[in-house]
Chain A
Amino acid sequence: MINVINNDDQPLPSLGQLSPGEKAEIVGFQQPDEAASSFLHRLFEVGFLEGSHLEVLQEAPFSKDPISVRIKDATYALRRAEASLIQVRKL
């Protein structure tokens, strides 16, 4: 099962909070709402799974959003809002 994290005492950082150059490991996913669930499915498909390692490579100029993330040798762009569904542990 997907590990849904609901830990209020010590909130883990999310992918949405990382800066370029930071590496992390995926530890879980926030409980998605209806719309986000289909989006999360897409992320699973390309390898955003628990235990996967990722690295934030770039952020878009000025707005610092979206970010580009390397995972499993591929690079994807996503917005910080959606990236915050992914709970990570910094490496």
Chain B
Amino acid sequence: MEGSMSNTVKLTIDGQEVQVPEHLTIIDAAEQVGIHIPNLCYLKGMKGIGACRLCLVEIEGMRAPMIACNTRVKEGMVIHTKTEKVQEIRKFVIDLILSMHPLDCMTCTKAGVCNLQKYAYEFELKESSFTRKTLGYPVDEANPFIKRDPEYCILCGRCVRVCKEQGTNVLEFMGRGIGSKVTTATDKPLQESACTFCGSCVDACPVNALLEADRWRKGREWEYEKVNSVCLLCGNGCDITVSTKDGVIQKINAGAAPGSSEQYICAYGRFGFDCIEAETRLTAPLKKVDGELKETTWEDALKIVSDKLKKAGKEAGFISTAGIQNEDALALKKLASTVVKTKHYDSSLSLYASPESLTESQAADMDAADVIVLVGLNPSQWERRLPALDASIRKRVSRGAKLIVVNSSETRLSDIAAVGLGGDEIASLKGLAKALGHKSLKADRKLTALVKNAAVTEETEKAADLIVQATEPLIITSPGFFDAAANLTLFKGKAVTAGLESNARGVALMGMATKGRTYRQMAGDGMKVLYAVGEVPIQERPKADFLVVQHSHLTALARQADVVLPSATFLESAGTMIDYLGRLKYLPKVIEPQGQAKNHRDIFIQLAKKMGATIKRPTEAEVKKAVKVKAKQPLRPFARKEGLEISPDAFIESINASVINGSRLLWLKEAEQAVTT
């Protein structure tokens, strides 16, 4: 539907001639030319349901008004969006809604961005002409994330549909007509339902019925400064919009374009920002004196570290997480290889991926993919394992895309898959390649030879058919299966690797692939100096002579270090990252770093200076040069890369331990534990 070159049609809206793609609805077409048609129940990206009746427009030639949210544009249509009749209907509906809505604009948190307020102003409605109704439903604010206030609810149904489309299905209408209430199954509070507190409902609500629980008295919407950034907590790298007031972060919302299937952010990203001011936040360098960590100055700390690095030279080891920005990774590489001239550096991505699976991963667009092949991955919103991937796949499927799951174990996404290929993943991929070869798609002779003896089942044939009929197949694979999965792209489509950390792809491209000893080895035994950057998931102090930890929070490992250097979080440092789909994304400096924290590259540059060398500050040009995607894909072996099996849940939790323990997410961890015990 969206992939092919669509024709455009010409039509007239309110006297203005416009030319838009033919599959657009009237409401989207009008938006493209700057005409806003009032609506309350419409959600961009989803089919219009025509419940609120605000978007009724008059079309010449049609007797009755038609809803704009569900009518497609046709060549030559003449549309009037503001006739007397439809304006009267709109005024009537807003009037009725106001009669059951608390007239609270004075202190309401949504003032300024409330759709109801906007329309009441447009139709000059000071108060309602109808009888005042209050249903007296109680507020649900027993959790520290989302507050539900049914008194303000206008029953538009946006939250219900959003929650349904992404697969969580927590909210539903209870009752009928004016007495209906949007609530969870059997009207339980949110924490007793299957809610994951992702907050998609909060983003969708046009009024004050669903909001962040801590918003009261935290400033009005128009006092906020909003910047777009990226969340670096897990391998999804979701777009976010951060609102600040007086240099303090007030809230975070999903930042992808409305209507995109990637508009999502999980509880960690949305509510974890409390950790910036947590107790464990490092604000000054620390050094170990007589077994205890004592505060010191940057001068002192840098001198100690640079002396140790100079002495260790080739035997110094650098390990970092893959959640650091591109510029930080580049600066670290320069420090390690040109200044300290060590033989050993690595990043945590070597625990779960080979560098080629990330650097040779292709670029793709999730919203254009009409067939998605998921290899070896089991994303889940409930277990917070790449939750945004789970949500966007479910949304794509509900909007018409087809899902093929290739996995030897059970996955929750198989419920919505068109085809599920179980058993050994390599065997399934080989079979799929063989079936594709049969279906008159151009094939490499060597590839055909490789899969000559593969088994082809009925399911494999079905999957191959889907791929053949697709316009833009997208293969999302776990790093271990990248080689085999990418071979399918020799027929058609694109393959991307979903790493566990947000900037795994960027860090690999900047050159932080294993040199010398691996991460695991360095975390084990005797380096002269071990320099750990970021929240490396190591609990026990490795057997190194001297340990330096550079991170924003005092982790368990940092407590055991000899020198601790305070760094800035990703919201306090401007930089770039490359997400799993290959897009270069920018992160601005949203707030100033706490205390004396500096961002990673500044620390490396200053260290180099102390050691008598210069590292030039990495530029955008340098980053872009390092990012090159191979146009032609080579034939790769049909084999799984060994040694990459780690538990994704435990890993993701341990690289975010400071975030979880230093914010209200700790409540979530304890609540979820209480349920399972």
Q: Do A and B bind each other?
A: no
